[in-house]
Structure 1
Amino acid sequence: DELHHSPADEHLKNMCVTCHLGNPKRETGPITNESRGGGCLACHLNYNEADSSLSHLTIDRKNHPDYLKNHPSIDLKVGNNHCFGCHNRSGRISTNYEGWHETLLNPDELPTKHSYRIIDQTRVFTYIQDDVHHKLKMDCIDCHNSYELMGDDTRYAHQEQQVDIACADCHRNKADRTVTYAQLDQESALIAGLRYANIANRVFLTTEKRNKALINTEVRNDTMWMHGKNRDTVYVLRPPNAVCTYGKAHHEVSCNACHSAWAPSCIGCHNAYDENEPGYDMVKNLEKQGSWVEFVGEYNAGLPVLGIRKTASGQEIIPVVPGMVLTIDLASYTKDQHDSLLFKRLFAPAAPHTTAAKGRSCVSCH
């Protein structure tokens, strides 16, 4: 337990860390929308109908030996439901991807003539527009690779830095970065071999950022293809529109800046520590007295604001959302009246996962 007892540490314990994979899975059963953490099981555990019907029997194994007849699978079939439990919060990329935007409605307030979805029994979402890749029935792992999800032996300060893939890795004008099966690293070769047969002669595309093989891609007959990892679907990888790459007018504009149809934003968060509020320590998985409490102003959805991210290699125009429009009442936690309100108005880089084939208009930026 590296977290201690500062206001920030307690905030993490009360609000955040349950999604992290180090949080153990303590209950028998399949991964659902409400699952959090679970280590390897969070992604690789799959139940079939027979497994699920007998899962409750594992509680009393001595008197119900039938549990031995069925066992859930630990496999490579990582579906979107495995991602959803953790990624339907914060940036909400799982709900965004499917086209759902959170509201402040209560379940008993729903109009009858609209498309709504209830998550976690209390959170009400309304449908806006799903990602073009979701329309094509692509899974999260069709894009994201094992090194992003399980690590590449590097400890990154920010989660986004671990992301390796980019739109241009698949949507490019020519297959200029490739490797053969014989050139695959050990991890990629093992996973590719388990997923696909007869790939000894296959040529794979690689990522530009870290030169990792995209094991579900293929270069064949001067055409680039993508194979679905969980289903027998093959997609032609189309090059970007000429306007995206012509000249240098937009060479600093990211693909997401133009092609994100919408992004969620939360306005007016207020955090206060209430010593009488029943709380939960998500590190120790114990109930406790006293907790940070969040109050939300409103949820919005629309074209994302654009910001400039500067790095040592240059600058890039990217989507950003209000990442911290936040007031923390320090005095309510420390009991020191000399501590004042801590106010922050910061924007966070965003990958909305609401890609549209048609980019935003010139007028929306200029």
Structure 2
Amino acid sequence: MKKLKICQKKPYCNRRKVEQQQVSKGVFSAMMNNEELLTVESQKEDNKSAEEEELSLFTGKGNVQIDVHTARGLDCIDCHTQRDIMGDGNLYSKQHQAVEIRCETCHGNDSTYPMISKVTELDDAVIRLSKHYKGKPNSVGDWMAVSKRKKRMTNVKVQNGKMVTIGKRSGRVYNIPLLRNKQIHFIPQHQSRLECTACHSQSIVECQSCHASMKLGQVELKTSEKTPIKIQQPYLMIGPRGKVAPMFAQPERHFSMLDEKGNPILALGSIGQHRGKYQKWHFTNPDTSSGSNLAYSLNPHSTGTKVRSCESCHLSPETLGLGKGDLKIGANNTGKNDSLVPLNRLDEKTQASVFDPQAKVSIRGEVLAGSHQLKARPFNQKEIIRILRVGNCIPCHDRYGDRIYQDIKKSYAFASTLEHRQLREQILNSRQIQP
């Protein structure tokens, strides 16, 4: 049996020498000194059903999909560490930079189990902190999960050959499903380029924008008493860690300006040109014009076991940040002849912009939205072309586990052959014959 290198420093563990690959090779056998534990069903689901419930909480469209962790009874502090919430002594310019947990912290990934570290000292912080939790505290010899910053978790551990999370307030034990045991992610590009939340986030809460109204002669600016909320499937972008992640997009604003008689007044540009009327005026930045707005990635905390459909990404201009519109794909795959005509023509009429007010990027990959997150951005043209190209295959190959996605370059090469063309025509003809 291969011996693992386990860090023994206190109070927290600097695990620079402990590689995830080393831990994954014999994780349960090394912990429990039993080879048979490698076949243990450590990822069995909790007995309580984790069905995603729908909660109608807001005025507006759509229902909030409750997070699978919340549905099972987990509190915020059962996932997030005290360092996530109270800080770790360092200054971070952005909130997301302070978070040390990842989905992989508890669930691992398709090739490795979660990283773990053994408690070796009585005065270790994971023992001291666990004494404040309900249930049995940690002890020397326990194997604890390790966060992205190589710090031991205080309530995620190996217990009876299984990875479990222990509720800090409830003391309840939750079995953790491990991805390596499930073997459910088959597409290589998804494994390397996507955050877990890109597919598993069910919904995101978005303000349906502000609408202010002003009438000349009145002192007060009228605003709506309620802000309607829209619940929708997340758009996507490249997050600060370089992977595809859900996008939190700023909606357009509306502004109506009327004269004393209630008629909409003219809107003038910076050099006095006529730009329409201030009636339901849409804008997405302080300059009251579309084409430059904000977009940043986040975890919407609406994780579910049910994932979004393939076409919701590969056949959706909105998801790619292009806005609502009629998408036309050119004859070749270079993207040069691709075009998108926005459904909202208001900006085009006022000559404020040729893009949809919600667009974060053009079909050519021109960035229309800024982000305060370092390295976060909308998709570029190469990425947009690559994502949309897969959409050509989905009408016939709509199953996630379809073997063509195992080697997409090889599949594209076959798609250009006469054999594939004949096969496609045969399938289409057979469908037309069917009643």
TM range (shorter): 0.5 to 0.7
Partner residue, 2:231:
301
1:355 equivalent in alignment to 2:303: yes
Partner residue, 1:203:
143
Structure 1 unpaired stretches of 5+: 1-95, 105-124, 278-290, 330-336
Structure 1: distance between partners of 2:233 and 2:309: 11
Partner residue, 1:73:
none
Q: Any conservation in 2 of the 1:308–1:318 contact (CA below 8 Å)?
A: yes
One of 290, 293, 296 as aligned partner of 1:345 = 293
Partner residue, 2:245:
318
1:259 equivalent in alignment to 2:186: no
Structure 1: distance between partners of 2:88 and 2:213: 38
Partner residue, 2:59:
103
TM-fit CA distance, 1:215:
0.9
CA-to-aligned-CA distance 1:31-69 (integer Å, 9 cap, x gap): xxxxxxxxxxxxxxxxxxxxxxxxxxxxxxxxxxxxxxx
Call closer, same or farther: CA 1:215–1:353 in 2, change over 3 Å: same
Q: Any conservation in 2 of the 1:99–1:354 contact (CA below 8 Å)?
A: no
Call closer, same or farther: CA 1:229–1:302 in 2, change over 3 Å: same
TM-fit CA distance, 1:320:
0.6
Q: Any conservation in 1 of the 2:53–2:71 contact (CA below 8 Å)?
A: no
Q: Any conservation in 2 of the 1:141–1:229 contact (CA below 8 Å)?
A: yes
Partner residue, 2:117:
179
Structure 2 unpaired stretches of 5+: 1-51, 257-268, 271-285, 315-435
TM-fit CA distance, 1:269:
2.7
One of 145, 149, 170 as aligned partner of 2:106 = 170
Give the alignment of 1:1-366 within 5 angstroms: 99-103=55-59, 128-172=64-108, 174-182=112-120, 187-195=125-133, 196-197=136-137, 199-208=139-148, 210-240=149-179, 241-244=182-185, 247-269=188-210, 298-310=228-240, 315-323=242-250, 325=252, 341=287, 344-366=292-314
Call closer, same or farther: CA 1:126–1:324 in 2, change over 3 Å: closer
Q: Secondary structure at the match of 2:152?
A: coil
Q: Secondary structure at the match of 1:147?
A: helix
Report the AA paired with residue 195 of structure 2. S
Structure 2: distance between partners of 1:205 and 1:245: 25
Call closer, same or farther: CA 1:295–1:186 in 2, change over 3 Å: farther
Structure 2: distance between partners of 1:225 and 1:349: 29
Structure 2: distance between partners of 1:328 and 1:355: 35
TM-fit CA distance, 1:248:
3.6
CA-to-aligned-CA distance 1:2-31 (integer Å, 9 cap, x gap): xxxxxxxxxxxxxxxxxxxxxxxxxxxxxx
Call closer, same or farther: CA 1:185–1:296 in 2, change over 3 Å: farther
TM-fit CA distance, 1:217:
1.4
TM-fit CA distance, 1:192:
1.9
CA-to-aligned-CA distance 1:111-147 (integer Å, 9 cap, x gap): xxxxxxxxxxxxxx98543111122111111101100
Q: Any conservation in 2 of the 1:326–1:345 contact (CA below 8 Å)?
A: no
Structure 2: distance between partners of 1:324 and 1:185: 51
TM-fit CA distance, 1:263:
0.9
Call closer, same or farther: CA 1:264–1:308 in 2, change over 3 Å: same
Structure 1: distance between partners of 2:123 and 2:193: 32
CA-to-aligned-CA distance 1:93-121 (integer Å, 9 cap, x gap): xxx998454215xxxxxxxxxxxxxxxxx
Q: Secondary structure at the match of 1:215?
A: strand
Call closer, same or farther: CA 1:238–1:185 in 2, change over 3 Å: farther
Partner residue, 1:112:
none
TM-score of the superposition, structure 1-length normalised?
Answer: 0.52
Call closer, same or farther: CA 1:276–1:359 in 2, change over 3 Å: same
Call closer, same or farther: CA 1:254–1:296 in 2, change over 3 Å: farther
Q: Secondary structure at the match of 2:150?
A: coil
Q: Secondary structure at the match of 2:250?
A: strand
Report the AA paired with residue 164 of structure 2. W
Q: Any conservation in 2 of the 1:97–1:134 contact (CA below 8 Å)?
A: no
Structure 2: distance between partners of 1:347 and 1:97: 28
Count of matched residue pairs:
227
Structure 1: distance between partners of 2:118 and 2:103: 22
Larger Rg: 2
CA-to-aligned-CA distance 1:72-102 (integer Å, 9 cap, x gap): xxxxxxxxxxxxxxxxxxxxxxxx9984542
Q: Any conservation in 1 of the 2:79–2:101 contact (CA below 8 Å)?
A: yes
The RMSD of aligned alpha carbons is 3.8
TM-fit CA distance, 1:231:
0.9
CA-to-aligned-CA distance 1:289-322 (integer Å, 9 cap, x gap): xx997887742112111111255xxx21000121
Partner residue, 1:121:
none
Q: Secondary structure at the match of 2:184?
A: helix
Structure 1: distance between partners of 2:193 and 2:89: 30
Report the AA paired with residue 157 of structure 1. S
Percent same amino acid at aligned positions?
A: 27
Q: Secondary structure at the match of 2:163?
A: strand
Q: Any conservation in 2 of the 1:101–1:126 contact (CA below 8 Å)?
A: no
**Structure with the larger strand share:** 1
Partner residue, 1:74:
none
Q: Any conservation in 2 of the 1:103–1:126 contact (CA below 8 Å)?
A: no
Q: Any conservation in 1 of the 2:105–2:114 contact (CA below 8 Å)?
A: no
TM-score of the superposition, structure 2-length normalised?
Answer: 0.45
